[in-house]
Chains A and B, each alone.
Chain A
Amino acid sequence: MTTTVTEPAKTLEKGFVGQSIPRKEDKRLVQGQGTFFDDVRRHGMGYVHFVRSPYGHAKIVSIDVSKALELDGVYGTITGDEVAIHTDPFFEMSVEPGGNIKDYALAVGRVRHMGEPVAAVCAATRELARDAAELIEVEYDELPVLVDASEALKDEVVLHDDAGSNVVWSGVFDWGDVDSALAEADHVVKIDKLHFHRFSSTPLECAGALVEYDKGTGEWTLTCNHQMPGVGAIWMAPALRTGIDKLRFVTHDIGGGFGNKICLHPQYVVLCLLSRKLGRPVQWTEWRTDQHTANAHGNERWFLDVEVGVMKDGTMTGFKVKALDDCGAFPRYEPLGCIIWAQVTPGMYGWRNIRVDFTQVCTNKSPVSPNRGYSRMQHLWLTERIIDIVAHELGFDPVEIRKKNYVQADQMPYETPNGCFYDSGDYSTALDMVLDLIDAGSIEKRREEAASRGRLLGLGIGSTLDSGTNNFGQSTLLNPELQFSGNNEAASVKLDIFGEVVVTLGTVPQGQGHETTAAQVVADILGCSPDQVNVRRGHDTWFNSHAGFSGTYASQFAFTGLGAVKGAAELVRDEMIQLAAAVLQAPPEAIELSEGFARIKDGPPEAALPFMALGAIINANNAFLPPDFNPTLNHRYVCRPYFGMVDTEKKTGQLTLTYAMQIHAAVVEIDPETGEVDVVDYAAVDDCGVRINPQIVEGQVHGATAHAIGAALHEDFVYDDEGTLLTANFYDYHVPHAMDMPPLKTGAMESPSPVAPLGAKGMGEGGGGGIHCICSAIQDALKPAGGAIVYDSCNPAHRVWSMLQDPEATRANVSVASK
């Protein structure tokens, strides 16, 4: 592992910020003392099991729960009919036709994907609940199944009668003048079809919750692993016909999320109804097979009729594309995926003329939800495919054409054609760094050596962005009626009676080390050690400070989460200084906070107050303070980034604030007999501005890379024509194991963000760089074997083998018109 820092941050004086201090969370987690939701028990709680559809599409004729209810130890059941009586359909974000879809917590009258919950049963033990579920008799009438997005567009079979069409949302985004850009170009490269496949990050801890209902107050407490409770409550409360104050979300440790724990509101509503109906706490832990079949897939997307204008010198003038997004059976978080990609409209390139004709449809597959790199990753994969296909067809060097077309360092901050601002970065230098790490200079020698062993070797590059800190106002580009804009996050910091520094976060970490990085920031501001800072674990709607968009998603903790922590800590710091100045009878500017003391700068050693003294005065010994002097040493701060409003006519605006960058490079070897791909060398360079904790940043790069390698080579949610998921568990859905992962070399640059409170950009999602570079490397390796074009984001052995057998089939997909 190599870490190279080329540009140390100049905007911050680093103390603990910038150091790789070991994580505070680890001590409990390495001893099995973490608390995950499934570890929590309540007296008399019942276990819930969902009865799920075995069909991709069917009418529900009848549901008979009587045999289940006869079983000793069964507490009760719930079906779609009851759900339709006691709840309202979830709020839909789309305009018509998608906005007319009725989505309930359980299937009502019809199932639309395999694994869709149709009933739930609650019993004294997990085993019994499962037994009882077997006894619930559901009669179905099968309906024709749609698993292909293009077929869905025909509307011959319609999933949602209320919508009358399978189209959820469609619209054209047109920036610059793409027709002129194509007309003026020396070459127009056409690509008929590219496919970004379905996969998900499949967190190791499945979803679930323990739900308790308080009959006296009408409040529900959900001890759970929802990663975006602020928005979860916005979905749930109206459906449950209650106020948002009646839903208390509590999280402790969460076993990974990656976006897949954002759309849990349907299951949680069922649990709320069951706990109220049965008068007891109810607990549900999703089974792995259920997570795969019916929780959260990533968005599948087709890119059709791509046309790219290219000048003789390799300068690209613009592109147009029809994007067809498949969101599965219900648009749960959708249609936001129809706009989120626009945060990175030109990718890392200087394209000024872009037209995207975007349509999203429903099919009889699992609903999608945000998945690490959500919606941007798909689009960035397209931009990287365009670059490599253009280079391949017109004979440009993939490195040089990238450098020629990258947004240049001296253009930063750079306004994209749709009004977003890339805040900082030096993409060409980062590319040079990654090529050094992977020793690209020796690639031809390595290619020859591999060829001598009968193997095809290729080098690929994946340049990608990780846009962070979402402007929810972008939703109004899809539906101007929506009342969302901006973003916010809250935190609180207090100094307690014995000098304890206590921090609560609105964020909902799932492994990102927020307790550690927040402690680093607070320690620097208050002048103490991170060990002295107690950052409370998890999220609690009652006790933690939080805001409307609280959660951990969209690569934004470094901006909004830590921005809130910084703001609250500064308020406490200022009061500590005022208090110390009053006690020590010195002007405030003479006071410094350092090593857990407030002291007079360059004063005698006894002119110092330990934090304990400050905390005790305010909290327990305050009678001597004058009436007009009232510090609390307890502050909440809301970080509300400034975006301005989006322009719904032109579809422009600042859709997000920071742009972390990653460039990945892979060397792959292909066995031409089998199509098997081995990643033999791999490097990634990350630039996320100031790194609060470089080791944590590098860990995120590693993790995102593993997800991408898995997705690029193995992980694929494959459906048969009947809508049956063929990869419903870790047997068939192969995620990388220790033996599958190549050694990863990493490098880092720091181009501090001029807009972020700490100069740090969010970076956890990663942007799918590994998918881009492996596709690129496979195409490079296949060059001497027929020159197939990589058209799919997933390339397991059978697909690569097919490309070797019939490269022309993929080449027919691409054409060039030159002047």
Chain B
Amino acid sequence: MTEPVASRTVSLEVNGEQIEYEVPARRLLVHFLRDDLGLTGTHIGCDTGNCGACTVHLNGEAVKSCMLLAVQADGATIATVEGLAADGELTSLQQAFNEHHALQCGYCTPGMLMSATALLARNPRPSEEDVRYALQGNICRCTGYVNIVEAVVAAGGKG
């Protein structure tokens, strides 16, 4: 029987950068991103996996980073909100969020953007219903979703 290990070295790509890091085996991916890598754009809004503020892309798919351990991301490619406007230019989705007043406090916004970016990647012209369905795992307490849905539909129209 193998002994349990307290920590492990993980190797992964985050926002295009290759990273090796020794992490406690029990550390959540979201805490690894925030506390160890300083990528504080990814947020935490609950402790049950309901709110989606911690949504990132794992190998291109939107996932809740509080529902994974950092060690489970070993070998993966991760994208966070900081990687969206990597060249300094806001994406059309980020611009649409600004134009349509799709954020108020901005706390859910990174998770919303990551879920919506993943949606637009697989469905470039989503309907309002598609958007609502795709964002149902992301809670916003400020906007009532009206302008978020509008912004994603508009960004799709431009895409």
Contact = CB atoms under 8 A, between A and B. Distances in A.
B144 A702 contact: yes
B142 A127 contact: no
A631 interface: no
A703 B82 CA distance: 26
Contacts of B51: 204, 288, 730
A44 to B, nearest CB: 15
Contacts of A513: 104
A29 B103 contact: yes
Contact of A32 (B82, B101, B138): B82
**Helix, strand, loop or mixed for chain B's interface?**
loop
B90 interface: yes
Contacts of A485: none
A783 B149 CA distance: 35
A738 to B, nearest CB: 4
A22 B99 contact: yes
Contact of B97 (A1, A30, A125, A258): A30
Interface string A497-516: 00000000000001111000
A730 B81 contact: no
Contacts of A729: 46-48, 50
Interface in B1-52: 24, 26-27, 31, 34-35, 39-48, 50-51
Interface string A276-320: 000000000101110000000000000000000000000000000
A715 B45 CA distance: 17
A79 B71 CA distance: 36
Nearest to B138: A738
A511 B104 CA distance: 4
Interface stretch (A189-197, A249-257, A410-418, A606-614): A249-257
A29 B41 CA distance: 8
Contacts of B27: 127
A511 B101 contact: no
In this complex, the member of A204, A735, A743 whose beta carbon has the largest number of chain B beta carbons within 10 angstroms is: A204
Contact of B24 (A1, A30, A127): A127
Given A204-B108, A735-B141, A255 B43 contact: yes
Interface in A202-257: 202-206, 253-256
12 contacts: A29-B103, A31-B85, A32-B80, A33-B82, A38-B40, A204-B51, A204-B105, A255-B105, A511-B106, A736-B145, A738-B135, A739-B133
Given A32-B39, A203-B141, A204-B108, A22 B101 contact: yes
Contacts of B147: 699, 702
A204 B141 contact: yes
Given A27-B98, A204-B141, A511-B106, A738 B136 contact: yes
Nearest to A730: B50
Given A253-B106, A256-B105, A730-B50, A31 B81 contact: yes
Contact of B146 (A125, A707, A741): A741
A30 B98 contact: yes
B63 interface: no
Given A31-B84, A32-B82, A36-B107, A287 B47 contact: yes
B109 interface: yes
B42 A30 contact: no
A87 B108 CA distance: 37
Contacts of A677: none
A589 interface: no
Contacts of B149: 738
Contacts of B108: 204, 255
Contacts of A288: 45-48, 51
A30 B90 contact: yes
A39 interface: yes
Given A696-B101, A699-B104, 16 more contacts: A30-B85, A32-B39, A32-B40, A126-B35, A206-B45, A255-B106, A285-B44, A288-B45, A511-B142, A513-B104, A699-B101, A706-B143, A709-B144, A737-B139, A738-B136, A741-B146
Contact of A702 (B109, B133, B146): B146
A34 interface: yes
A267 interface: no
A288 to B, nearest CB: 4
A702 B98 CA distance: 16
A744 interface: yes
Contact of B45 (A20, A34, A204, A743): A204
A209 to B, nearest CB: 16
A404 interface: no
A148 interface: no
B149 to A, nearest CB: 6
Interface of B: 24, 26-27, 31, 34-35, 39-48, 50-51, 53, 80-82, 84-85, 90, 94, 97-99, 101, 103-110, 113, 131-133, 135-150
A277 to B, nearest CB: 24
Contacts of B45: 204-206, 255, 288
A699 B35 CA distance: 32
Given A31-B81, A32-B82, A741 B41 contact: no
Contacts of A739: 132-133, 136
Contact of A203 (B105, B136, B143): B105
Contacts of B144: 702-703, 705-706, 709, 736, 741, 744
A31 B94 contact: yes
Contacts of B84: 30-32
A23 B98 contact: yes
In this complex, the member of A127, A255, A511, A741 whose beta carbon has the largest number of chain B beta carbons within 10 angstroms is: A255
A202 B140 CA distance: 10
B132 A703 contact: no
Given A22-B101, A32-B39, A730 B48 contact: yes
A39 B40 contact: yes
Contacts of A254: 105
Nearest to A201: B141
Which 3 A-B pairs give the minimum distances between C-beta atoms? A32-B41, A255-B107, A511-B105
A570 interface: no
A285 to B, nearest CB: 8
B142 A703 contact: yes
Contact of A31 (B24, B41, B47, B104): B41
Interface in A8-66: 20, 22-23, 25-27, 29-36, 38-39
A629 interface: no
B153 to A, nearest CB: 12
Contacts of B135: 737-738
A205 B45 CA distance: 5
Nearest to A729: B48
A731 interface: yes
A72 to B, nearest CB: 12
Contacts of B131: 738
A162 B63 CA distance: 52
In this complex, the member of B44, B105, B146, B150 whose beta carbon has the largest number of chain A beta carbons within 10 angstroms is: B105
A320 to B, nearest CB: 36
Interface in A678-726: 695-696, 698-699, 702-703, 705-707, 709
A20 B147 CA distance: 14
In this complex, the member of A20, A512, A741 whose beta carbon has the largest number of chain B beta carbons within 10 angstroms is: A741
